[in-house]
Amino acid sequence: MNIVAFVVGSVLFVGGIVLFGYAWDGSHFSMVMFGAGVLTVSASIAIPFHILKRIDG
């Protein structure tokens, strides 16, 4: 289960960084993409720290 959480967390983290990059292109949805990036990176950190503690415990 830890390997799956690591892969999912890594994919979410990299996806959030990509969303941060796309937020700087000046489109109308730049604030939405930046907010989605913040939420995605937050979720990638919350999975190992909060959810796995309850599943493996």
Structural domain boundaries of the chain? 2-56
User: Measured between alpha carbons, how far is 5 from 15 in angstroms, rounded to an integer?
Assistant: 15
Mean pLDDT of 47-53: 75
- Residue whose structure tokens are 């503690």: 53
Mean pLDDT of 14-35: 90
* Termini Cα distance of the chain: 12
> Measured on CA atoms in the order 34, 36, 37, 42, is the torsion positive or negative?
positive
Residue 29: φ, ψ to 5°:
-100, 25
Residue 28: pLDDT band (50, 70, 90) is confident
